[in-house]
Amino acid sequence: MIPRYSLPEMEIVFADETRFGRWLEIELLATEAQATLGVVPADDAAVCRSAKPVVDASFIERVLERERVTDHDVAAFVDVVQESIGAPAGSWIHYGLTSSDVVDTAWCWALRDAADLLIDAARQLHHVLVAMARHHRETVMIGRTHGVHAEPTTFGVKVALWALQVGRDIERLESARRAVAVCKLSGAVGTYSNIDPEVERSVGEALGLVPVPATQVIARDRHAEYVWACASVGATCEMIATELRHLQRTEVREVEEGFKAGQKGSSAMPHKRNPISAETISGLSRVLRGNLQAALQDVALWHERDISHSSVERVILPDSSLLAHYVLHRLRRLLEGLQVFPERMRANLHSSHGLVFSQPVLLALVQSGLSRDEAYRIVQDSAATAWAHGVDFRTTLESDVRTAAVPATVLDEAFDLRRSLTHVDRIFEQLED
């Protein structure tokens, strides 16, 4: 992933130094487990640990140079590690293992750590959303369907629903973490033919990973579930970002992204304050969804293994982790600096001359004895007149002879904003639960 959309704590998880360091630790733990079983001399296992190479830029370059000969990254890595430790102890490195034992266990180790960062970032976002929802619990605004004014709601309700969805994303991330926090050191085709299952158990325990039955590779539905959780995070963040973009439109202007000193919204038009964070989030979520398609295609491999998934995962697993992490933090920062304009929200609500009360008026007319279809036509006609001429909806309604028998108190209740918001507490009860 390009640095522009990467945060350092997630970059470290997928850095070459970290990856080779994981490979080395897995090799050493396996060698030590073999020594416990009496397969590897204990003294040689101790030498492997004490003489292990330092994984730095020089080590990585040696591995890459060796790979130009072997055309196999793990084989090159093993050669360099064995050479660094020296014979005879170094010869026990990778004993009984196949490449996927090391690579797949290291991938799952990395994804487990990445999931922890994602869960933490999602919880931070959730905390901000809950606080914002509580703060704007009674900030009245118009609800919209199809982009058109519908009925009153509150900004707090809108944000509370966002928080509930982020809460579900946290659950999805936790499930994905469980799915990928596994390991396998069962050798070629996964039958433990050249390695004792106790080695796998020992390494898994040391790394906090759960040994699972596998072919030569760990089943890729686990990785697909992880990428799905990342894509779901992106979809949620895009859903919020898209709404904020709409609410920031000049004609609406109910919210606005923060604009810091020195910032420029346009190179040509100095007046511009654009929703750049929300737009960036929307764009990056598309990449996350695209990666999910590739992850699902990686599930079907030939027989006990092939490497058609390998090249794909080198791209999508780090990138999905980095992007999901980035959009979570970018959205949290956006919300922390968001400007909310309650007066503009209320003005927009009343800008349609009271048409937002059409449904309670319809119900009031039905309660007064009119048929539903007749009541609907009356309300529809009055609404059309009010909208066409810019006059008060209630006035046009009361001037219709067909409503003469409807008590004023009934209409008072229908046009009462508080009536529309009587039960919003139900949503907040769910949020607090």
Is residue 303 annotated as a catalytic residue, yes or no?
no
As beta bridge partners, residue 140 has 154
What DSSP character marks residue 143? E
Residues in CB range of 377: below 8 A, 6 or more apart: none
- Determine which one of 193, 266, 311, 351 is catalytic: 266
User: Is residue 70 a contact partner of residue 105, using CB atoms and an 8 Å limit?
Assistant: no
Q: Which two tokens stand for residue 163?
A: 């928080």
- Determine which one of 50, 58, 146, 271 is catalytic: 146
H or E element, residue 76: helix 73-85
Is residue 266 annotated as a catalytic residue, yes or no?
yes
**What is the spatial distance between Cα 110 and Cα 131, in angstroms, rounded to a whole number?**
32
SS3 assignment, position 122: helix
Q: What are phi and psi of 313, to 5 degrees?
A: -65, -30
As beta bridge partners, residue 121 has none
Chain mean position to CA 326: 9
**What is the spatial distance between Cα 126 and Cα 129, in angstroms, rounded to a whole number?**
5
Classify each residue of 325-341 as buried b or exposed e, where b means 16 or more C-beta atoms within 10 Å of its C-beta.
Answer: bbbbbbbbebbeebebb
| Terminal Cα distance for the chain, rounded | 38
Question: Hey, which residues are catalytic here?
Answer: 146, 266
